[in-house]
Amino acid sequence: MVFSNNPIIIHENLLVSPQSSTQLSLPLTFLDLFWLRFHPVERIFFYSLPNHSHDPSFFFNNIVPNLKTSLSLTLQSFLPLAGNIIWPSHLPKPIIQYNPGDAVSFVVAESNVDFNHVLQNSPRDASESRFLLPNLDSSDSTASVVSMQVTLFPKKGFSIGISAHHAVVDGKSSTMFINAWANMCRSSVEECPSFYLKPELEPFFDRDVIKDPTQLDLLLADNWTKDPNDATKKKRSLEILSFVFKPKVENSVRATFKITFKDLDKLKKRLLSKWNEVVNDDEVVNDSCSKPDTLSSFVAICAYVSTCMARAIQEDEKNEQKKFAFGFAVDCRSRLEPKVPENYFGNCVNLHVVDAKPEDFTKEDGFVIVAKKILSKTKNLDKDGVLEGMDTLSSKHETRVRLGVELIGVAGSSRFRVYENDFGWGKPSKVEITSVDRGLSIGISENKDEKGGLEVGLVLKKNVMDIFTNLFHEGL
């Protein structure tokens, strides 16, 4: 076969079914409905082939069949992933529906790109990763929940690209499924097959644990029916808003930055040393922003990377004063009353935006200001409630857009332990949160090479990435 201008060829378009006769319907909660037409969560796991497995036949005759069989077995415990989101005319909000025979799209492909090139952390064309991801179908009437693409890099390795609908899974749920699939596949490869999941990987689907006394679910469902160009018109649609969340890959590069435990310690000490020196104009002295004894790696890295990004963008566009905000998702499972089980499968996160001034991110002491704001926001979650402000999130975001404020977001978490997903041929050589290219986002995972460190994935315009890289390394 000839690759021509496309760096991949498709060998097979398959459907993998859970082989279950059970029918299942799940309502979408208000925590799901917030993400109803958002872009999918997209990840790519890269695996190096063992030395004895460089013959392509090993990939097609061993790896692919094992991945398919274990996926089918795993889906039996995760039936919603094989189903679809639908919106029946007699229901006020969409549901997830699995019918026997429903299946997951599973693409088998091959790439002519150098595998060592895609494993590089240094900047590379942001569009390259897009060829390694499957499409996730959506239309007015239905939306697929998850799709897979397995791509061979001959004699070197392979990748597993996963696209998952954000209205069905949050980061914790999606990584729980991937972990379950990896465990199932590894046990088969090691010839000690186990068809039972560990208790912590058994998904909990009961939506009754998500309390919604104000019927926020109906408000959010109704909001999605409104025509953005004409408020008097309404239309039910499940189609992902691709024109809003289109990947921003033109003239852009993708890079990964490794932060060691020592780097993080330096950043935390620098923040604490300046904590009482830097006082923002609108800062109110209270317990939530008083100097802490310690700082989390999350606060330190989010403040540092977001301010480096803002300064790089500002420096690139010298003639225009840019405005920024920072948003992050909070896992609500342990913060709701009553608490939600840790293995709850669905969305149980709420987006929070730090209330810093938009210009604070580019100030000389922006790193400290933003860190204080993030810490204050996290401390106030228990006081104000983790779901506080969810009913006005969309309207506030629309206001920020009108005011020209760019929201820097976060995807992933070091707690997900993505580098532990061994399907039977070794742990990942690299894990990438590809969907950070759909906005101004920071992809975070644990550092593959060092305990206590972090990895940060970014997509930026090439010249902005050059400036960011200099700022990032100078600051460390």
Residue 352 bears catalytic tag? no
39, 165, 166, 352: the active-site residue:
166
137, 316, 331, 422: the active-site residue:
422
DSSP state of 340: P
CB 342, CB 392: distance < 8 Å: no
Alpha-helical regions (H) of 238-352 = 261-274, 297-316
Residue with structure tokens 């949160």? 433
CB 356, CB 326: distance < 8 Å: yes
Q: How many Cα atoms occupy the beta-carbon half-sphere of 85 within 13 Å?
A: 31
Distance CA 181, CA 202 (A): 11
CB 158, CB 152: distance < 8 Å: yes
Residue 166 bears catalytic tag? yes
Q: How many Cα atoms occupy the beta-carbon half-sphere of 86 within 13 Å?
A: 13
240-259 exposure pattern, b = at least 16 Cβ within 10 A, e = fewer: beeeebebbbeebbbbbbeb
* 146-153, strands of its sheet edge to edge: 8-16, 104-111, 146-153, 157-164, 41-48, 430-433
* 95-98, strands of its sheet edge to edge: 24-27, 95-98, 84-86, 142-144
**Which residues are tagged catalytic?**
166, 422
